[in-house]
Structure formats: structure tokens, C-alpha cells
């Protein structure tokens, strides 16, 4: 049955494509072929044959290109990309042997569509496609590939701080999941800088000698941007303890931050959440003293105050001490 379906598809596809061949005097009817490719794609989608439907959308995109309709071309490329991803997902869910061909084709289609929007000076549309692609790659556990597209989206969204922060935060989580801790640490600073600039108008980046997270938190009024800075500070403290000491000690930009958590201080005068600061400071001291029992107790106390990613990072710190 599958072979018959494939044969029938190819016959129909070639019949439509034949209409695009140049004939003597008469121009090919690109518009008619475009509609027929789209109609065939709709039928194939209804039959859950997403890979063949994607091929039809690609053919339709070439028709849109020939008709000088870049918006239509981008829309058909995006649809093709989504269908390639759907096909890969179906094979995975059915435990069928999968290859990366569909994902590779999807990446190419998304990238081509994004480039069309960039040429049309519509960066937000391109960023949306990069985010959609990165989210799909995350589902398939292609985290290193996802990082690249999250970061491309973030750079295009620099005029929309909260959206850029979302993209960078997704990239940061992928880096943590792939144990790219040094890169993740740098990303915390980038995110905090965006939040500080948007919330207070003052950039976070400095000479590396001052406590940039604390300064930014104090300068930023209460709200989502200040909350973001506090979240990134907690991320950074945990990441610093996931890095090997020789690497960690070379991070001069984070020296002041780590010093604040290793020296006695009044938690009530600290920026951000005093309870969280006190418990994290205790964690840092327990790590320094190699006191695993205290660290486990603090882990339980911190659980309601941490994000899921922070909880996972702290768990990794605890496991590292057990080795």
C-alpha cells in the first residue's frame, strides 16, 4: 500500500511539475501549479503523510519565488519545515528507525524563510522562526544545535528586551543540560546586562572588579527585570561551583560576586531576596567546608525558592561532592 501511495504521489507531483516546463511561445502557468501543489499538500496532510506534503510545500515555495512573492515563499518554506519536523516526530513516537534527514531539511527550510524575512527587514519574523526551530530541536534533544538558533533569535530581538531575555534564557538552559557551564556562566552576565539596561537604563558590564549583579539589582526598580537579575545571580553562584576551581578562579568578572557569598554579611542588607541570599551563602560555605550533611539539609530548604533549572544545578553540586 505504501509503495502504491508513493507511486501515486510521484505521478501527481510530476504531472503538476510538467506544467512548469517552458513551452514554445506559451509561458508556464506558475499560479495554477502553485495552487495544485498546495492542494496536493493539503490532501497529504489529511492522510498524515507529512514528508510528502513537505515536498509539495517546497515546490509551492519555488512557484512563489518565480512569481516574485517573497512573503508567500517564506510561508510555504515555513510550512515545509513544520511538516518535516512533524514527520520526524511521528517516526520517533512510533519507535520507527529515524534518520536526521527530515530534521536537516527542516533546519534548511526554516533558515531560508528567516533569511527572506531578514532581507525584507522584518527581523522579528525571522527571530520567531529561529525560536520555533530551536524549540523543536530541544524536543529532539538536539540541544547544541538549539543553542545556536536561540542565540540568533536573541540577537534579532535586541529591541524587545523581555523576548531577548527569553531566548537567551532558553540558550542558557541548553548549555547547562549539555554541561557547557563556562558558556552558561557568561550567558548569565549577558542576560543580567540586558535586564539592567532595560530596567534602569544603566548597563551592568563594568571593569569586573565591582559586584555587578548587586549594583544592577540596587539600580533596577522592582519588577520583572530586577527579578531576572536576581535569577541570573543565583544561576551564576551555582554555575561557579559546577566549574572546576582552576577555571572558576580565572573568571575575574565573577570574583566580587563569589566574595559576597563567601564572607560573613548581613543578609538583610543584601540586594534581592534575603532568605535566598542567606541560604545560598550557607551553601557556599558548606561547599567550602566539604560538609555534605549540611549541604543536603540546605538543599531541602532551598527547594521552594529555586527554579527547576537551579534545583537541578544544586543537585549536580551535591552529587559532585559525593564523588
pLDDT tens-digit map of 113-162 = 999 999 999 999 999 999 999 999 999 999 999 999 999 999 999 999 99
What are the E-state strand segments in the chain? none
Q: Where are the alpha helices (DSSP H) in 140-211?
A: 143-156, 161-177, 181-200
**Maximum alpha-carbon separation in the chain:** 87
Question: Model confidence over 209-229: pLDDT tens digits?
Answer: 577 888 888 888 889 999 999
What are the Cα distances from residue 23, in Å, to 11, 29, 37, 63, 91?
20, 10, 20, 17, 41
Q: Flag whether pLDDT at 233 surpasses 80.
A: yes
Q: Which three cell numbers stand for residue 249?
A: 578562579
> CB of 232 within 8 A of CB of 192?
yes
> CB of 148 within 8 A of CB of 175?
no
Contacts of residue 100, defined as CB under 8 A and 6 or more positions apart, other chains included, come to none
Contacts of residue 297, defined as CB under 8 A and 6 or more positions apart, other chains included, come to none
What are the Cα distances from residue 116, in Å, to 41, 128, 137, 232?
22, 13, 21, 34
pLDDT band at 255 (very low <50, low <70, confident <90, very high): confident
Q: Which three cell numbers stand for residue 153?
A: 533569535
First-to-last alpha carbon distance for the chain, in angstroms, is 56
The pLDDT of residue 1 is 36
> CB of 315 within 8 A of CB of 299?
yes
Question: Model confidence over 34-89: pLDDT tens digits?
Answer: 999 999 999 999 988 999 999 999 999 999 999 999 999 999 999 999 999 999 99
Residue with grid cell 550557607, as numbered in its chain: 282
Q: Which three cell numbers stand for residue 28?
A: 508556464
d(CA 54, CA 76): 9
Please choose, from the candidates 105, 98, 46, 117, the residue with its C-alpha nearest in 3D space to the C-alpha of residue 80: 105
Amino acid at each position: 500500500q505504501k509503495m502504491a501511495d508513493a507511486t501515486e504521489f510521484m505521478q501527481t507531483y510530476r504531472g503538476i511539475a510538467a506544467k512548469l516546463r517552458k513551452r514554445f511561445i506559451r509561458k508556464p502557468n506558475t499560479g495554477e501549479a502553485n495552487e495544485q501543489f498546495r492542494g496536493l499538500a493539503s490532501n497529504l496532510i489529511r492522510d498524515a503523510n507529512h514528508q510528502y506534503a513537505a515536498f509539495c510545500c517546497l515546490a509551492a515555495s519555488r512557484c512563489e519565488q518565480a512569481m516574485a512573492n517573497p512573503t508567500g515563499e517564506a510561508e510555504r518554506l515555513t510550512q515545509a519545515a513544520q511538516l518535516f519536523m512533524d514527520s520526524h516526530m511521528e517516526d520517533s513516537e512510533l519507535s520507527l528507525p529515524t534518520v536526521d534527514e527530515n530534521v536537516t531539511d527542516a533546519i534548511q527550510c526554516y533558515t531560508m524563510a528567516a533569511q527572506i524575512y531578514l532581507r525584507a527587514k522584518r527581523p522579528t519574523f525571522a527571530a520567531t522562526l529561529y525560536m520555533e526551530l530551536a524549540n523543536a530541536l530541544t524536543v529532539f534533544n538536539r540541544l547544541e544545535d538549539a543553542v545556536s538558533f536561540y542565540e540568533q533569535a536573541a540577537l534579532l530581538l535586541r529591541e524587545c528586551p523581555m523576548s531577548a531575555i527569553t531566548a537567551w534564557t532558553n540558550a542558557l538552559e541548553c548549555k547547562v543540560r549539555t554541561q557547557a557551564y563556562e558558556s552558561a556562566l557568561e550567558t548569565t552576565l549577558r542576560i543580567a546586562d540586558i535586564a539592567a539596561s532595560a530596567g534602569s537604563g544603566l548597563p551592568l558590564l563594568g571593569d569586573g572588579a565591582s559586584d555587578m549583579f548587586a549594583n544592577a539589582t540596587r539600580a533596577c526598580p522592582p519588577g520583572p527585570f530586577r527579578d531576572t537579575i536576581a535569577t541570573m545571580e543565583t544561576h551564576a553562584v551555582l554555575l561557579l561551583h559546577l566549574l572546576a576551581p582552576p577555571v572558576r578562579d580565572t573568571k575575574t568578572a565573577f570574583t566580587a560576586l563569589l566574595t559576597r557569598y563567601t564572607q560573613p554579611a548581613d543578609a538583610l542588607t543584601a540586594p534581592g531576596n534575603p532568605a535566598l541570599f542567606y541560604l545560598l551563602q550557607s551553601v557556599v560555605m558548606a561547599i567550602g567546608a566539604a560538609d555534605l550533611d549540611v549541604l543536603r539539609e540546605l538543599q531541602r530548604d532551598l527547594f521552594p525558592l529555586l527554579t527547576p533549572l537551579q534545583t537541578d544545578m544544586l543537585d549536580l553540586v551535591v552529587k559532585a561532592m559525593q564523588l
